[in-house]
Amino acid sequence: MHHKGFTLVEILVVIIILSIISGVTLIAFGDFGQSRQAQLSAEQFKQYIELIEERALLQMATFEVYVTQKGYKTRQLINHTTWLEPRQHLFKWHVFPKASHVSWPDEAASSYRILINATGETTPFTLFFGTATAPRLLTLKGRNNGQIDLYDA
């Protein structure tokens, strides 16, 4: 006797698979990925600063990372007087994702500057990364010695 349809085991397996997929999706995209984008932006910016620190050591040069709420770029100090934007791709304007919100302690300032000198030392800095609804999810803190820490705010 041959019946058309699915067995109870087949239906249960499909339900379990769908519940696992929807659970993982809700965890990853609970806020439509905005907090994840903020975290990725903070990690990417941290790695960028570390890369500029290494570049400053190798070139024996002073750099400035200029940060706004929309993005950041790097300039190099030439002859102790002039800030110049190098033509290399590394120094181009980098845009933060639209869902990311970047801020700093002095909220009245429209931009933030981080100086990195030829010894790899940086000006101490604090940046906050988050979303429009939670603007301070993560804190990125840089110290004089070039060490950068990223932690939950």
Residue 2 pLDDT level (bands cut at 50, 70, 90): low
Q: Is 84 within a domain?
A: yes
pTM exceeds 0.85, yes or no: no
Q: Is 148 within a domain?
A: yes
Looking at the structure of the chain, the number of domains it has is 1
Q: Is 13 within a domain?
A: no
Q: Is 43 within a domain?
A: yes
Q: Determine the structural domain holding residue 50 and report its residue range.
A: 34-152
Tens of pLDDT, residues 57-116: 999 999 999 999 999 999 999 888 888 887 777 788 999 988 889 999 998 899 999 999
Residue 32 pLDDT level (bands cut at 50, 70, 90): low
Kindly tell me if the per-residue pLDDT of 31 is higher than 60.
Answer: no
The three-point CA angle 99-105-106 to 5° equals 105
Given a contact cutoff of 8 angstroms between Cβ atoms, the answer to whether 112 and 129 are in contact is no
State the amino acid at position 139 in one-letter form: T
Kindly tell me if the per-residue pLDDT of 123 is higher than 90.
Answer: yes
Q: Is 118 within a domain?
A: yes
Predicted pLDDT of residue 43: 95
Tens of pLDDT, residues 45-57: 999 999 999 999 9
Long-range contacts of 103-106 (CB under 8 A, 24+ apart): 103/69, 103/127, 103/128, 103/130, 103/135, 103/136, 104/67, 104/128
> CATH no. for residue 75?
3.55.40.10
The number of C-alpha atoms within 13 Å of 112 and in the hemisphere containing its C-beta is 20
Q: Is 9 within a domain?
A: no
Helices (H), the chain: 8-28, 34-59
Q: Is 23 within a domain?
A: no
